[in-house]
Structure 1
Amino acid sequence: MDTHLLGRIGAALVGAIAGGLVGLVTTFTHRQLPPWGLIAGLLVIAALLAGLRLAVAGRLVATVAALAVLAAVGVLALPVGSGSVLVADDELGWTWLVATAVLCVGAVAWPSPRARPERPGTDA
């Protein structure tokens, strides 16, 4: 196998683990000290995804991390057998779910800072 491909697979795996852990921790803490826990959780997710977009060329690693965040949040939003949930069916819970999804989609869809074409007639 090509070492470049192995590097991309490894980076995607690290992104998936980081995204899953961030989604797990922030879902557990989003209800702590409302609304600051929610805001802090969204800032942590934004920092992770923005950092991955800036540090790694391409969208693959950030996309995998965003999907892992969404998977962790989605799984933890499901009710367990006893009927208890971590993401309640209230304004704070719905804000958490929708804002996390919008943030993940926005971070992945944001134009790449490396893909800016140079304008003709300007010196580098």
Structure 2
Amino acid sequence: MRIVQNFEPYQSALLFQVKAWIAMDLALQKHIINFPKLVSVRGTTIMIDCSGFDEYYRHKRLGAGIIPWTKGFSGWLKPRLRLFTLQIGWHGSAYSVVGRHGDLRHEEFLSIESSAANEPLALLSFKAD
């Protein structure tokens, strides 16, 4: 398995993957009104612009504020990012998830440890290089 030193070649793959995860989540899917604006990626920073969600979602989910929402969304992303990280060959990755809602902005840092020794055999055979 190769170790990725430069994340830039994987930026578009991560953007595609995050959009796919959001699109497949039925609870989120029905509230998306501006999908292209919703997610952007630069390096290992994932920006979620909450204006991409409808008014109901923003009122219901963001009522407690952007900080708890970003923490919750980061928790939702973490296991998915761990699998993505394994597939591209990273060991011990750090991501930044930024939630933005109007003028409010909060950033969560995620440290994702991945070790081939801890992975199920089925996942390892999927990544044959």
Q: Which TM-score band applies after superposition, normalised by the shorter structure?
A: 0.3 to 0.5
Greater share of strand = 2
Quick check: which one's helix share is greater?
Answer: 1
Larger radius of gyration: 1
Q: TM-score, normalised by structure 1?
A: 0.37
